[in-house]
Amino acid sequence: MTSAPGPDGTRTLDVGVGDGSLASADMVLNIGPQHPATHGVLRLRVVLDGERIVSADPIVGYMHRGAEKLFEVRDYRQITVLANRHDWLSAFANELGVVLGVEAMLGMEVPERAIWARTLLAELNRVLNHLMFLGSYPLELGAMTPIFYSFREREEIQAVMEEISGGRMHFMFNRVGGLKEDLPAGWLDRVTAAVAAVRARMPQLESLIVDNEILDGRTRGIGVLSRELACAYGVSGPIARASGVDMDLRRDAPYLAYGELFGEGGPGRVVTRTGGDSLARLEVLLEQTHVSLDLADACVERLRSLDRGPINQRLPKVLKVPEGERYTSTEGPLGLNGYHLVSRGEKTPWRLKLRSASFNNVQVLRELLPGCLVADMVSVLGSMFFVVGDVDK
């Protein structure tokens, strides 16, 4: 019996059978870029030894739209339109990083009402993001029912987000200096009712996925990501926290109103697990949804107590940012988002580099998938909670 690597790195095994031989080789399988086993336009080049994955190479770039280059020929009002689209489940959070960076370079103070309203909308957007994955992940494992429950709860939150912004996915409600316009009359009451309705019905969704024997069997011990590996690849957000990485910028480098919300006596808390497997990642996402609902309620109460006043700053017709550079980071629903803004004093950025959470979360698949069975590949992929547009930008 002899074994030798081929030109493409695969192994060929020659087994003598009588006076003949039987040759076998590892199978190189391309999954995607359009394939039901992948999250959108992602390609995985996997090498299989029977039913077990020997190596996996995520190949990205099929959705690349050149957003960072387009930023260079758009003014600071226009780039917000582009910047909120790379993760279409987290549009408000994407807008936020851009305007926070511009405001910091301008030395601009945002009205207090805008700060709390932004925090409220960011947490409602986080709930929308998490509910999507809480419904779609079980669907990928064969459970059809949970997605109907998660979308019912999403519609409760979508209704109030659509009312205030006019958009369902790309809200475009942030502006440099605050928000587009004031909160509609009675809107806070409708937010309170929506959050209460979602919180009251969440146990129905949880009953379908928590302690589910089939889901537990498909996720426990599958795709284990160690704390060290998560840090080495720059994995962040709920995926990193499921591996014991106790990091959340809302607490560790607070912005907006998070310093108070995550301070002593506040409702904010960082959810972590130590298992690092697909089940732990799902558990973190589920518990984080409850935390965001609590944060939303706290924001509503603070907004009720604030006197009426401006929601934004008056801007010049041509907005120019002083020469210099700044790196701004925020805690998006999927992890750490970074915005490196370089200005030469013009009305357009000289460079705006995006650090999207999903990119790092996908790269670590080359470490997680080897050793897994093909049947477990979808379990690992789905639990990484990425958006392909957020990878490719």
Dist CA 151 CA 358 (whole Å): 22
Average pLDDT over residues 145-158: 95
Dist CA 92 CA 296 (whole Å): 15
| The token pair that represents 71 in the structure block | 């930023």
Q: What does the pLDDT look like over 186-242, one tens digit per residue?
A: 999 999 999 999 999 999 999 999 999 999 999 999 999 999 999 999 999 999 999
Spatial CB neighbours of 301, under 8 Å, sequence gap ≥ 6: none
pLDDT for res 20:
55
pLDDT for res 62:
86
Dist CA 29 CA 23 (whole Å): 18
Q: Which candidate, 331, 378, 61, places its Cα nearest to that of 218?
A: 378
pLDDT for res 23:
60
Burial class (CB in 10 A: 0-12, 13-18, 19+), 189: exposed
Fold of 67-365+376-382: Cytochrome-c3 Hydrogenase; chain B (1.10.645)
SS3 content of the chain, % helix, strand, coil (to 5): 45, 15, 40
Average pLDDT over residues 155-162: 95
Q: What does the pLDDT look like over 1-15, one tens digit per residue?
A: 444 555 555 554 444
- Edge to edge, the sheet with strand 335-343 lists 324-332, 335-343, 351-355
Average pLDDT over residues 138-153: 93
pLDDT for res 216:
93
Q: Which candidate, 220, 337, 231, 242, places its Cα nearest to that of 288?
A: 242
What is the pTM (predicted TM-score) of this model?
A: 0.90
Instruction: Tell me the β-bridge partners of 15.
Output: 22
